[in-house]
Each structure stands twice: as C-alpha cells, then as structure tokens.
Amino acid sequence: MRKHNIDRYDVLGALLLPIVLLGALLLLNLLNNLCNQWHPTVKLPGTWEVAKSVVVTAKNSAVWFALYHTIKISLVATIVAAIIGLSVGFSLAYDKRVWQLCQPSLDMLRSIPVTFLVPPIAIITGVKSPLLAYLLAFCPAFLFMVLSARQGVIRHDIDRSKAFEFFSGRCNRIEQFWKILIPEAMPEIFHGLKLSVSYALVIVTVLEYFDVGPKGGIGQQIRTFYDNVQYAAGFVTIAYVGTVGYILNKVLDLACHRTMHWSQFEIES
C-alpha cells in the first residue's frame, strides 16, 4: 500500500486558514463601521476582543460538549447514508434500465432544498425529536452517496477488468467487483463522503440554531452567545465548526489515499 506524501500546498493552505478568518473579521468590522456612519447599529467585536475570546471559549466545557453532540449526529447520519447509499448506487450502476427508471426521481429529490422537508418530517417525528436532525442530515447524504457510487462504477477502466480476467484466467464478477470496481470507485465514493459529512454538519448546526430537533448542540450554543450579546464567542464558535469540517475532510482525503491500490487516481476536492 503506497504512502501518501504531504503536499506543501496542502500545508500552506492549512496555515492560511487563520489569515482568511482574520481577513473575514476585518471585513465585517469595516462594513460595520461604514454602516454605522449612515445608520447607528450594534458595534461588532474587534480583532483583539475575538482573539481573547478564543482562549475563553476554549476553556468552556459546554462548547466542546455541544460540538461533540453535533458531530455525533452528523457522523451517524453520514455513516448510515453511506451504507444504504452505496448499496443502492452500486445496484443502479449494474442495471441501466433500473437507472433510467430511478433517474427522474433522484433528479427531482436533489433539487428540493432540505429546509422544505422540515415541516413534514417534524410533523411525523416531533419538532424536538432527535430523529428529526438524523433524518434531515441523512437525506442529502444518501443522495450524494447513491450518485457517487454509481458514477465511480460506470467510470471504471474496462481494460483493467479485461486484464484481470486474462491474468487470473477466470471471470468471477464478485471477485472483480471487490478487486477492480471498488478500488476504482474510491475517489468518487470519498468525494461523496466529503460532501455528505459537510452537508450533514451544516444541516444539524442550522437546525440546532433555530431550536429545531435535539437540544444541546453547537448551533444552540451559538444562538445562546448571540442572544447574550457575546458576539466574539459566537464568531469563535463558528470558526470551531468550520475547523471541524476541514479536519473531517482531510481525514477522508487521507483515508482515500490509504485505500488506493494504484497511484494515478487523485481524489477530487
């Protein structure tokens, strides 16, 4: 199994994250100051105030517990969606007629915003039910995994399959599936996983922020900071959520490279 060499541009990109966040904060303060000249409004926290809040927020155990709660729901929904979605996607890749029958429904479903599904699912599960967040995070993740799995299989190299049959001296479709199709589909599968976990994290956080679904998540914690006019702590907590998404994506990148059997594939970002 080949080793994944760390790209210096990946490292530079990670080091640029704090600079990008600082630039965003400075831009918000600039816009805030310009708006205050025409219409007095609430003064946003400055750079130094946000920097101090990083230390204070890091010591707040409630923030880390809330972040863990949100990550748990997002990962569980993504894992379940991956298991079911991969099975469905592989099935659709093997039968063109079944895909033609299902494609209109899939195209329609992925065009519907998840927020439109909140009322009907909330009626079924209850507005405060944890199941509401799991189901809403599951929906887009499932669609991503179905489409990614199918795309990965249909784009496989036919010559490699023929070479496998020639050198092995047998045409075992099950063995060919595990040794050829699955490895070739890995970049698409992990690309779907990255989208799935990112969307799940966003959906769960937004639901918590608007007090829908389970209590105790990071979205609710951000809402509490804002309600108490602790804008610096709210900004820092938002940065924590974004950092978690970045780390999860990099972990999936590493897992993809670790599972590749040949080197010419690179996961799409």
Query: What are the DSSP calls for 209-241, one per residue?
Result: HTT-SSSSSHHHHHHHHHHTT-HHHHHHHHHHH
Tokens of residue 61, six digits: 């155990």
CA angle 103, 180, 263 (to 5 degrees): 105
Question: Residue for token digits 């599951």?
Answer: 138
Name the nearest CA neighbour of 219 among 194, 244, 195: 244
Instruction: Tell me how crowded residue 67 is: count the other CB atoms within 10 A of its CB.
Output: 19
CATH superfamily ID and name for 61-259: MetI-like (1.10.3720.10)
Name the nearest CA neighbour of 90 among 145, 140, 137, 157: 145
pLDDT along the chain (269 residues), means of 10: 60 78 80 76 78 87 94 96 93 84 88 87 87 93 92 72 60 66 84 94 94 89 92 91 92 84 45
* CA gyration radius, the chain: 22
Question: How would you classify residue 171: left for phi > 0, otherwise alpha for psi between -120 and 50, otherwise beta?
Answer: beta
User: Domains of the chain: which residue ranges?
Assistant: 61-259
Tokens of residue 171, six digits: 């045409």
Above pLDDT 90, what percent of the chain?
Answer: 36
Instruction: Tell me how crowded residue 6 is: count the other CB atoms within 10 A of its CB.
Output: 9
Cα dihedral value 78, 83, 88, 91, nearest 10: 140
> What does pTM read for this prediction?
0.82
CA distance 208 to 231: 18
CA distance 66 to 248: 17
Environment class of 66 (CB within 10 Å of its CB; exposed 0-12, middle 13-18, buried 19+)? buried
